[in-house]
Amino acid sequence: MTTRPPPLTIRGREFLWGRRTYVIGVLNITLDSFSGDGLGDDVEAAVAQGRRFAAEGADILDVGGESTRPGFDPVSADEEMSRVLPVIERLIAAADLPVSIDTSKAKVAQAALEAGAHLVNDVWGFRLDPEMAAAVARFGVPAVVMHNQRGRPFRDVIGDIRSGLEAGIALAAAAGIPRERLIIDPGFGFGWTEAQNLEMLRRLGELTDIGLPILVGTSRKSTIGAVLGLPVEERLMGTAATVAIAIAHGADIVRVHDVKEMAQVCRMADAVVRTPAEA
């Protein structure tokens, strides 16, 4: 039986892995989000959405200022900071939840952490910006290490994910980030075919022996659209199915756009999957 990772405290909240599934609510401070929920530079709308997510059951709010969809238009670090910093500052005061910065730029991560962010979510797992791991280490915060398959040769879904995660974990260790502060993400939708994404969910349990909490982000993604033949605004039920399956195969956290509905999916899936002792 796989040993559960030790608890992690973020903004005074204890995350007890294995007891229940935690929910991250997505706040896209962009104009070109694939999911159609980009808030642009509307700080008030972002704060209102964050407060609503908190009321609907989110455990963490994840703020991002650059789209990561396929073919996204890159933005400068300065532009990214101008988008996310006002929102982070306001959210910390408005919602009593940990706030995460979704970025792959060390400069943006550092500015966000100085503004009060509690967690770094790097979709390149410390492998894009060589200064990212050091920035996280300086602030002593937890981080999400994701495997990003984009531009990498394919051999085997789980094998590639494992090697990518191990590389990110090694970079974290070299920078002085304690292993128990890391969360891993297999990178659903980042450089995979539709069939490979589905295989990832089927085989997710093979990653539990890494011994770190697993985050999965399937929400509204194109694989769901391809399977169901539906546009992004009609992928709620498909997302719900992937969230439930991810939980059944070992996910500890899910990152979603539809917090109210997915929080209910998590509660129901947890009632089935987790034993009374765990719950």
Write out the catalytic residue numbers.
221, 255
- Number of neighbours of residue 86 by Cβ within 10 angstroms: 16
Q: Shortest CA distance to 159 belongs to which of 111, 130, 122, 196? A: 196
Q: Shortest CA distance to 60 belongs to which of 34, 18, 96, 84? A: 96
- Rounded Cα–Cα distance for residues 59 and 141 (Å): 16
- Number of neighbours of residue 131 by Cβ within 10 angstroms: 14
Which residues 6+ apart lie within 8 Å of 258 measured at CB?
Answer: 219, 236, 239
112 touches 88 (CB < 8 A): yes
